[in-house]
Amino acid sequence: MLKELPNLSPKKTKLVNYRSTPLNIASVCVIVVSICAAIFAGSHSENVFLIVYLVPVSLLGLVIDLVLQIFLKRYLWLVVVELILLLLVIALNSPLTN
């Protein structure tokens, strides 16, 4: 008797199922610490360095994380690749290599 109305709502398309990964967590933590250090700066001028340098680098880390999540479908491979990237960044910035 009654016909069902067609679904006229727009289709929801997902680009990627965004998940928490090591690079994602590290980037967000660095952004939060940089903003808190700038707010509670006091008389230290190195906190400006945190905002000027570390926030854009962390945003770049979030973009890299998004690109990796698009191309690497398996979560285990994604975590391994991101941990290797983080360890490389830490190793290159350590005082032993300078």
> pLDDT tens digits for 57-93?
899 999 999 999 988 889 999 999 999 999 998 888 7
Separation in Å, CA 28 to CA 18, 39, 56, 58, 80? 14, 17, 12, 7, 19
The answer to the question of residue 10 being in a domain is: no
Give the model's confidence band at 33: pLDDT under 50 very low, under 70 low, under 90 confident, else very high. Answer: confident
Q: Structurally, how many domains does the chain consist of?
A: 1
Nearest Cα to Cα of residue 24 among 85, 74, 73: 85
In the prediction, which pLDDT does 21 show?
92
pTM higher than 0.75 for the full model?
no
Give the structural domain span for 33: 22-92
The answer to the question of residue 98 being in a domain is: no
The answer to the question of residue 67 being in a domain is: yes
What's the rounded Cα separation, in Å, for the pair 32 and 41?
14
Q: Indicate the average pLDDT of the chain.
A: 81
Give the model's confidence band at 38: pLDDT under 50 very low, under 70 low, under 90 confident, else very high. Answer: confident
The answer to the question of residue 58 being in a domain is: yes
The answer to the question of residue 2 being in a domain is: no
66 Cβ contact partners less than 8 Å away, ≥ 6 residues apart: 16, 18
